[in-house]
């Protein structure tokens, strides 16, 4: 069932409150202001760190993938 078809209470619990949204917006504004005050050298270090984190993290959106089992390449053994 999609969020639009969910009961009102479930939809209300899933949505962030106006207070939570406001806190996140204030945090974003503060980070942007702090970034503007950095020296070019400090900003370059931040940009390098962000690039490193973005390359190393894996984000999967959607349904998980089910991999096919690997073929058994070992010859079968007959116990004798």
| Whole-number pLDDT of residue 12 | 76
DSSP string, 1-64: --GGGS-HHHHHHHSPPHHHHHHHHHHHHHHHHHHHTS-HHHHHHHHHHHHHHHHH-----SSP
Report pLDDT for 44: 94
Q: Tell me, what's the pLDDT at 60?
A: 65
What does the pLDDT read at residue 28? 95
pLDDT in tens, the chain (80 residues): 555 566 777 777 888 889 999 999 999 999 999 999 999 999 999 999 999 888 877 766 676 677 777 777 776 766 55
- The two tokens of residue 45 are 């270090």
């Amino acid at each position: 069932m999609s969020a639009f078809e969910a009961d009102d209470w479930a939809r209300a619990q899933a949505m962030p409150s106006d207070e939570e949204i406001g806190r996140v917006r204030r945090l974003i504004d503060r980070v942007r202001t702090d970034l503007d005050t950095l020296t070019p050298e400090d900003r370059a270090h931040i940009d390098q760190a962000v690039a490193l984190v973005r390359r190393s993290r894996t984000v999967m959106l959607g349904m998980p993938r089910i991999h096919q089992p690997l073929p058994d390449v070992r010859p079968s053994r007959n116990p004798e």
